[in-house]
Amino acid sequence: MRLPSASPLLKTLALVGATLAAGTPQAAPGAFKDNPIVYFLMTDRFVNGDPSNDNSYGRKREATPKDDVATFHGGDLKGVTRKLKEGWFRDLGVNAIWITAPYEQIHGWVQGANASFKHYAYHGYYALDYTVLDANMGTEADLKEMIDTAHAQGIRVIFDIVMNHPGYLDLQTAKELKVDVVYDGWEKTTLRSYHNYIDYNSFKFADWWGRAWVRAGLPGYIDGGRDDLTAQIAFLPDFRTESPDPVKLPKFLKEKPGTRAVDLPGTTVRGYLVAWLSDWVRRFGVDGFRCDTVKHVEPESWEALKAAATQALAAWKAEHPKERIDDAPFWMVGEYWGPSGRAHKMLEHGFDAMINFEFQSEEGGFAKPRKLFADYAKLESGHAPTWLNYISSHDTKLFDRDRLIEGGTALLLCPGAVQIFYGDETARPEGFMPRGDTQQATRSDMNWDSVDTKVLAHWRKLGTFRARHVAVARGAHKELSASPYVFSRVEGADRVVVALGAKGETSVPVAGAFADGDKVQDAYTGREYTVAGGAVKVQAEACVLLELIR
């Protein structure tokens, strides 16, 4: 493919190829690969680090919780950096932060849940321009500072990304982009009258993405199909990533002020998306992607994205030896809605792990995790974890806020990879729950002014214990006692013993994990003990977390 010299993006991609030709750094066995502890935050709902960008593009908040549930609330990249500098993530044992897609979203709002609220793109799933940051998130300098600050603490940064669809064409964005399908007076629209201001018979919709790019069911466009790969999810336009035909840059992007998008001659829809997304990796050292709606995009597109992002990260690390954490390769985790199974087919198509939707449904067994832990140990022992477990999610529900001690114990001691959803460690309460869109309630503002200190202390103790011990994530699991429930996990030289349900003075069996005379510490209380007779006499609190004192 011929590369026009005037294109900064194309120069970036050419440099990626040149770097790889010279040799790609080998993957190093790192703590993250073998023991991912991922903190997922919705950037807009986390910390407002820069109030000056709160009303970018004219976005506005609403007066009541009911009306304000899906507006932009002010959280940004500077806010994430502030909490990094305060040690919030380090104190939880976190080694990766997953942030919502920070690239530019549609500017206005669309109808939410039967026209009951104004739905903005605060969550990052209504992309407008993949090549520039959304102004509500901050500047490129803010992004660089956030990633550099995280890397300095050994914490990776993961972008949430979407290749299945862009955002809707809302009234405000259509007018700003000069896609002339909106009637005069649109500024006066109400939730109920929204669609009355759009001319759905106009062929001027072609000035938006265009027929070659998306299925949209609009004049001049292909309708969405009826299978997973071609359907329009929630009526969103569906990218034609499977098409082998080269496409030109859409008219709106050619004319859009500030975009970094340029024509890539001979490139398909898939090729453009891969180039745009991997460019963030190449320029800033993004360590991984959490990929949305995986089942709605053909595997070949995910393989192409993984290959390009892997090359881009290798090139960035070669040029930034002081800013990188290590030489580990790019990491991808996928959201494939539905039963997880036990050996997900997408692990063969570029993904290192898949989100485990089944784990949250196990909550009935969290109080008695004997079978849960043994079952997951059979899946994950001896290899890099392939299932990312969670107890709360923006896509499902929040875990019972009265049982977060129990839920945190199950999650943070279970084999596999873990995802901490922002506010599970603080007992963040649900937000307003609109009828017809209960997921909005899971995305409330972080409760910095009402942190449950007991829950936080528990999650910090278990999180940092897990971070120190790869054996927790992938070690061989052995039951040592049924009541109280005691087990060991052993991975090479790393070994731990955990006791659940013990109270007061208790003798904990440790034979096979620790030897008589070994000095051990209960990481939960900080108390030190000596192994004698294959056991340790401890003073137990909520749980016992035994580790060698080195």
Q: What span, in angstroms and rounded, lies between the C-alpha atoms of 172 and 351?
A: 37
User: Are 35 and 473 contacting, i.e. CB atoms less than 8 angstroms apart?
Assistant: yes
Do 228 and 293 contact (CB within 8 A), yes or no? no
Q: CA 505 to CA 535: how far, in whole Å?
A: 13
Q: Comparing C-alpha atoms, which of 74, 60, 63 is closest to residue 136? A: 74
Q: How many CB atoms lie within 10 A of CB 382?
A: 9
87 CB-contact burial (10 Å; exposed 0-12 / middle 13-18 / buried 19+): exposed
Report angle CA 441, 386, 242 to the nearest 5 degrees: 80
Question: Which string of DSSP letters, residue by residue, matches 123-154?
Answer: TS-SEEEEEEE-TTT--HHHHHHHHHHHHHTT
The two structure tokens encoding residue 465: 């214990």
**DSSP run (H or E) holding 498:** strand 494-500
CB 167 within 8 A of CB 125: yes
In angstroms, what CA-CA distances link 154 with 149, 150, 322, 337?
9, 6, 12, 31
How would you class 160 by CB atoms within 10 Å of its CB: exposed for 0-12, middle for 13-18, buried for 19 or more?
A: buried
Would you name the residues annotated as active-site residues?
Answer: 292, 335
Cis peptide before 484 (omega within 30 of 0): yes
